[in-house]
Amino acid sequence: KNEVEQSPQNLTAQEGEFITINCSYSVGISALHWLQQHPGGGIVSLFMLSSGKKKHGRLIATINIQEKHSSLHITASHPRDSAVYICAVPHSEYGNKLVFGAGTILRVKS
């Protein structure tokens, strides 16, 4: 079992739809990262959160520490949101190195 699991692996949505990507982890963590990687390859750090909820524009990230689960929501999705979304957690047993989920490939069609 992977220590960080994301679902779904692939997601296709119509422009304007509300999107949810989920991340479950099995290790104790201090914080969880949501990253975005566009087809060109560059990675953008979207959120780092350790509790509750954070919002940035149309993006919302939530985390439930007790249930070891986080969600990334995109409201009013747009084709430019098409990217790979990656969940990552620092693993306390590995010196807080990031352990990455496999990523969710999102395609938003116009």
Partner 1 sequence: GAVVSQHPSRVICKSGTSVKIECRSLDFQATTMFWYRQFPKQSLMLMATSNEGSKATYEQGVEKDKFLINHASLTLSTLTVTSAHPEDSSFYICSASSPRHYNEQFFGPGTRLTVL
List residues near partner 1 by CB under 8 A.
31, 33, 35, 40-45, 48, 86, 95-98, 100-103
Q: Which helix (H) or strand (E) holds 107?
A: strand 104-109
What is the nearest approach in angstroms of partner 1 to the Cβ of residue 43? 4
Kindly tell me which of 43 and 76 has the beta carbon lying closer to partner 1: 43
DSSP 27: S
Residue 98's nearest CA partner among 52, 36, 31 is 31
Question: Residue 70 in contact with residue 62, Cβ under 8 Å?
Answer: yes
Amino acid at 23: C
For the bound state, the minimum distance from the C-beta of residue 24 to partner 1, rounded and expressed in Å, comes to 16
Closer to partner 1 by Cβ: residue 42 or 110: 42
Residue placing its CB nearer to partner 1 in the complex, 15 or 97: 97
Q: What minimum distance in Å lies between the beta carbon of 76 and partner 1?
A: 26
Specify the 3-state DSSP secondary structure of 39.
coil
